[in-house]
Chain A
Amino acid sequence: QKEVEQNSGPLSVPEGAIASLNCTYSDRGSQSFFWYRQYSGKSPELIMSIYSNGDKEDGRFTAQLNKASQYVSLLIRDSQPSDSATYLCAVTDWWSGGGADGLTFGKGTHLIIQP
């Protein structure tokens, strides 16, 4: 059974600081890693994808992947109140039987940015 673990929070961060979200996964065969943001009552919105070890930056967001440690993280710089949401980590094997399987999700970390 594939598992993805996240600290449920809430994680409270002052406005303008760096928010650090972490995720571990159980399946060493996982190849694709995603971070989604979900506002209350809404559907998840993809904010970052990462496939190789190291860092990937997109605006205020940086995803970090360490496959040896089976660890994925998301950094949000200059945190804004609008970043307050639940952040879902998701993983998948990108090649299985001819196509992409579904994602395995963690339960999410609730992030609160304090003005």
Chain B
Amino acid sequence: DGGITQSPKYLFRKEGQNVTLSCEQNLNHDAMYWYRQDPGQGLRLIYYSQIVNDFQKGDIAEGYSVSREKKESFPLTVTSAQKNPTAFYLCASSPSPGLAGEEVNNEQFFGPGTRLTVL
């Protein structure tokens, strides 16, 4: 089965703890993304990676860190510096877009998500 998996499905964190959310894909996609969704809100970009060993900050990167050591994996660490971490975290992946002017497929596909709650 090809797809994107995220674990755990639910995660509870105490104040001051760092936690790591897992995201794995076997779609052979180059690009991977992390978003956060708060109730009644759209998704906001945290970090993204277009290639192994490289990643860029999104709109709300403060208090988060990532790594991209393997093409298949893009874990997200929520650090104690993130002041309001309770949210629904979504990982996505996308094929590498073509060169400028070529037909492009940059559709993003999402994993099932991880719900993080701070106690």
Contact = CB atoms under 8 A, between A and B. Distances in A.
A101 B48 contact: yes
A8 B45 CA distance: 20
B112 A100 contact: no
Nearest to A4: B42
9 contacts: A34-B107, A45-B110, A51-B104, A90-B108, A95-B97, A99-B31, A100-B50, A101-B48, A102-B35
Interface stretch (A10-18, A70-78, A105-113): A105-113
A101 to B, nearest CB: 7
B96 interface: yes
A63 to B, nearest CB: 13
A34 B108 contact: yes
Contacts of A4: 42
- Closest 10 A-B residue pairs measured CB to CB? A105-B42, A99-B50, A102-B45, A100-B106, A43-B110, A107-B42, A105-B43, A43-B113, A100-B97, A102-B48
A32 interface: yes
B104 A95 contact: yes
Contacts of B96: 99-100
Given A42-B112, A102-B48, A107-B41, A49 B90 contact: no
